[in-house]
Structure formats: structure tokens, C-alpha cells
């Protein structure tokens, strides 16, 4: 047998399943071509699905970040507003001592019948100007005299028996109280009435 005939015979030898290698190879090539033809579509669908999921996740993250940023802006604005309202609180507390001394000087001069009216008038005018400045910064006096005792705004230092006022009423103010932007700056130091019947 010549070499040429051996080559032909080798090519035509059946495989383990009894089929011709050539036929099997042709079928495999056809299948591969078919698979390759279908693959680009599947790949495209997979990519689209992946991109859609990624876009959804990105949009969700964007919404969360936007909401957080809005909350941050509101919180910052609120904190800034609070800071502006009460930034002068410590300074005004110190000035209250000056106001107290001026009021004592005026009351003392009235009690003693002091003839130096010019000096008293000067102190009174200064006090009024100072109270006007307080009003500009939303600082107001706490109304106490004749009012029912309120522990949120009054600090009672003593009780006094009386029939002239209802029980637990502020009858004397030893030191005025102040509020700043509706928040207590200093409680009023007061004397509270106590009815004689309650005591007995």
C-alpha cells in the first residue's frame, strides 16, 4: 500500500462511535457557527440588563445623596438661625448686672428723697436707652408682679402671709427676670404670697 492510500484510509477511519471524523468535524463547525451567530444577541441582552441595573443603583444613590444634602441644608440653616438668636446671650447677661445697679440707684434716690434730680434723671435716661437696645435683640422683661407664681420664669426666695392677694401670687420683685427670643435668660427673683388660712 502506498503512502497516499494510507493517508486516505486514515482520514476515512471511523471514530469510537463508528462515525466518520470528517462528518463529525463538519457538524461541530456548523454548531460553532450557529452558536457564534446567536452569542452577540445574548451578549447584548446581558449587557443591557447589566447597564439597566447599574443605572437603577446609581439613580437610587443619587436620590439618597440628594435627600441627605437637603436635610443637611435644613439642619445648617436651623443651627445658624439658633446661633444668631442667642449669640449675644452671654454679653446681655453681663449687662443685666449694670441694669440692676441702675434700677437700684434710681429706687434708692426716690426712697431717700435725694435732691440731686439731674443725676437721677441721667441714670434713668441711660437705663431706658439700654432697655431699648435690649428690645432690638429680642430681650424682654418677665412680667411678675401680681401674676401667679410660675417656676418656669420665677425664682421664689420667700413666702409672705397676706390676705390682700390670692395664694401663690408674686407680691414683690427683688430682681427682674428676662427672656431672649422666648427663652429664659434669667428668672425673676420674687416674694410669693401665702394665705393665712392655708398656713393655719
Summarize pLDDT for 78-97 with one digit per residue, the tens.
888 888 888 888 899 999 99
Q: What angle do CA 58, 61, 65 make, to 5 degrees?
A: 140
CA distance 169 to 192: 5
Domain ranges of the chain: 19-84, 88-137, 139-200
Assess if CATH 2.30.40.10 describes domain 139-200: no
Cell of 78: 436651623
* 8 band by pLDDT with thresholds 50, 70 and 90: very low
Determine if the pTM surpasses 0.75: no
Contact residues for 106 (Cβ-Cβ < 8 A; gap 6+):
120, 123, 124, 127
139-193 tens-digit pLDDT: 999 999 989 999 999 999 999 888 888 889 999 999 999 999 989 999 999 999 9
Measured CA to CA, the distance from residue 14 to residue 21 in angstroms comes to 6
* Percent over 70 (pLDDT), the chain: 76
Strands 170-175 and 154-161: unpaired
Task: Please name which of 80, 99, 171, 170 lies closest in space to residue 140, comparing C-alpha atoms.
Answer: 99
Amino acid at each position: 500500500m502506498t503512502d497516499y492510500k494510507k493517508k486516505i484510509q486514515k482520514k476515512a477511519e471511523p471514530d469510537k462511535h463508528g462515525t466518520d471524523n470528517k462528518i463529525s468535524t463538519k457538524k461541530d463547525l456548523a454548531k460553532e457557527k450557529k452558536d457564534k451567530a446567536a452569542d452577540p444577541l445574548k451578549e447584548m441582552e446581558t449587557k443591557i440588563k447589566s447597564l439597566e441595573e447599574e443605572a437603577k443603583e446609581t439613580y437610587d444613590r443619587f436620590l439618597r445623596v440628594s435627600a441627605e444634602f437637603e436635610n443637611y441644608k435644613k439642619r445648617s440653616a436651623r443651627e445658624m438661625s439658633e446661633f444668631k438668636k442667642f449669640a449675644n446671650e452671654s454679653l446681655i447677661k453681663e449687662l443685666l448686672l449694670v441694669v440692676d445697679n441702675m434700677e437700684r440707684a434710681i429706687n434708692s434716690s426716690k426712697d431717700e428723697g435725694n435732691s440731686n434730680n439731674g443725676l437721677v434723671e441721667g441714670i434713668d435716661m441711660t437705663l431706658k436707652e439700654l432697655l431699648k437696645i435690649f428690645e432690638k435683640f429680642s430681650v424682654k422683661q418677665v412680667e411678675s408682679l401680681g401674676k401667679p407664681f410660675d417656676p418656669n420664669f420665677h425664682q421664689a426666695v420667700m413666702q409672705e402671709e397676706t390676705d390682700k392677694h390670692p395664694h401663690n401670687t408674686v407680691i414683690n420683685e427683688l430682681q427682674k427676670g428676662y427672656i431672649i427670643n422666648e427663652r429664659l435668660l434669667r428668672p425673676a427673683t420674687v416674694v410669693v404670697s401665702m394665705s393665712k388660712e392655708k398656713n393655719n
